[in-house]
Structures are given as C-alpha cells and as structure tokens.
Amino acid sequence: MTTTRTFTVVGGDTRQGILASLLQKRGQTVRVLGIGGETPPGCISCNGLLNAVHATDCVVLPLPCSCDGVFINIPSGDLKLSYSNLLEAMRPGQLLFGGKPDESLIKLALEKHIDIFDYFGREEFAIRNAVPTAEGALQLAMEELPITLSGSRCIVLGYGRIGKLLSHMLRDLHARVQVAARSQRDLAWIRTLGMEPVKYPHLSQVLSQADVVFNTVPSPILGREELQALKPNALVIDLASRPGGVDFATANLLGVKVIWALSLPGKVAPLTAAEIICDTILNMIEEVRG
C-alpha cells in the first residue's frame, strides 16, 4: 500500500509539471511552485515560499537544480528563488531531492539538518535516462544531416551507458560506427558487437572521415587538433553534461557545427523523463523511510 506524503515540486522544465501530475496520480498530495504554465489537475498552486515548503514532507528540485549555483533553475521567469531562501523556509527532517545538486546546496542542507538526495546520481535513473538521450541524439542527427544515418560514418566518443545504447542503435540503423573507449574490455566488446574500436590517441586519424561525431564524455575531448581534423560540414553533437567535451570557442572559430544537447530527455520525451524521475524518487524514499 502506498504511503501518502506531501510533495512540493519547484521550478524546472516540462518534466517538473508532468512529475507533479504523476505524483498526484500515485496518491500523493502535491504542491507546485514556479513550474510555469497551468497547475496540473489535482495539484495545489502556491505563491508564497513558506506556504509551499514548510509543512511538506519532500521538496523536489529540477534537473539541474541550478545553472549558476545560487538560484534554483526556474526557466519560466515567474519566480526568482535562491538556495538560501529555500533552505530558510524548510525545517529539519524534511527530504530534499534534486538533479545534480552542487556543493553550495549540499552544504546549506547539511547545516539545516535537511536530508538531501541526488536522483541524477542513482544507477536506475542513469540507465533508464540513457534511452531518451540516445533517441534524442538520433533525432537531432536526422534533422541536421543532409544524408541518412544508414550508410553514414559515425563516431561515438565514450562507451558508458549512453555511448553503449547510442552506438548499438546506430549500428542497427546500418551506420558505419566507430567507438572511442579507454579500457581494453570496452574495446573488445565494441569489436565483438560489430563496431570498430578506436583508441583515443588515434582519434584525430579517424575524425577526418566522420559525418557526425557524438560525444558522451564530460571532459575535454575535442580540442583544436581534433576539430581541425574534421571534414567540412561534419556535425558534432555533444551529449555530455557541463562543462561538455568540446572546445566550443575553437569550434566556432573553425566553423564547426556543434550542438550541445543538454537535457535532451526533457525536450524529446518529457513524459518518459518525468516517469523516470518519479520512480527514482519514490524508490529513494522507500529505502530511507520504508
């Protein structure tokens, strides 16, 4: 039997509004603050911060929690709410959930004796979230390329959760797929599964043939040397979270088309993305509170 709790969903993109609706449909009492658009049916719209969070059991922040480490990510522009304002309104014992909370938020929560949890860091979230990310990347490539993915030359940088799914999807679309990875284990799997493994020191040698490069590595990987190796009109889609894996300034100077596809799940499949967040949060609560 589901335990009824009170949730306050704050800020964010389309996913947050859908998340509020999903929680309400699962029997939870849901307040919303700064989500933009219409209040989901059955949810309670709050104007004041204290009214929204003081009596609630769980506060849910968006993914990412903030874009500057100071203010909560509220794209609608209807409200400007800082971390410190939020924590001042909360009370010890409440649960605070967020996507990629930074050190400043974690520090404030600990000082206030509020339990804080990162749903983005959960394994079940990462695995399930890789699917809409990979599908979104394919959609972007199909929209931007003047050729079909079938028969195209594609390079995937990284063989983590997203890299695995994406490279396998490209292979199944009959693209010619090369995958860059570091470990011998990953390189062996890449070859075994019908793709061409590439070691990073040899990356510049293969980039010149690529029609599209998908980066999944959230650290500098495509610098001047690599970008100069690309053929004219090659497309780069960076799927990595901040700071990304591309030298964007150099890419701009060289005329390389780069799409930094942040928060793809929320853009291409907001319902699926919200369901993943909802399930993950409820799993975490069950583990903590039983």
Distance, in Å, from the CA atom of 212 to the CA atom of 75, rounded to the nearest integer, reads 30
Q: Which residue pairs from 165-169 have beta carbons closer than 8 angstroms and sit at least 24 positions apart in sequence?
A: 165/130, 165/131, 165/133, 165/134, 166/133, 166/134, 166/137, 166/138, 166/214, 166/216, 166/239, 167/195, 168/193, 169/134, 169/135, 169/138
Asked if residue 210 has pLDDT above 60, the reply is: yes
- Average pLDDT of the chain? 95
Q: From 91, 56, 89, 62, select the one nearest 76 (Cα to Cα).
A: 62
Q: Which CATH architecture has domain 129-267?
A: 3-Layer(aba) Sandwich (3.40)
Please say if the pLDDT value at position 212 is more than 90: yes
Average pLDDT over every residue of 213-220: 96
Given a contact cutoff of 8 angstroms between Cβ atoms, the answer to whether 187 and 211 are in contact is no
pLDDT of residue 36: 81
Domains 6-121 and 129-267 share a fold: yes
Q: Would the pLDDT of 231 be above 60?
A: yes
The pLDDT value recorded for residue 1 is 45
Question: Pick from 42, 40, 54, 51: which is nearest to 12 by CA?
Answer: 40
- Does domain 6-121 correspond to CATH entry 3.40.50.720? yes
The Cβ-side half-sphere exposure at 97, using a 13 Å CA radius, reads: 27
Indicate if the pLDDT at residue 77 is higher than 90: no
- Please determine, for residue 121, whether its predicted confidence score (pLDDT) is greater than 90: yes
Judged by phi (left if over 0) then psi (alpha if -120 to 50, else beta), residue 27 lies in left
The domain spans of the chain are 6-121, 129-267
Q: Is the pLDDT of residue 223 over 60?
A: yes
Question: Quick one: tokens of 84?
Answer: 């410190």
- 201-207 average pLDDT score: 94
Strands 235-238 and 95-98: unpaired
Cis-peptide into 201, omega within 30 deg: no
pLDDT of 290 above 80: no
Q: Is the pLDDT of residue 80 over 70?
A: yes
pLDDT in tens, 7-47: 999 999 999 999 999 999 999 999 999 998 889 999 999 98
| pTM attached to this predicted model | 0.91
Q: Give per-residue pLDDT as tens, 88-119.
A: 999 999 999 999 999 999 999 999 999 999 99
Res 2 pLDDT > 80: no
Q: Which is more confidently placed, 36 or 215? A: 215
> Has residue 3 got a pLDDT over 80?
no
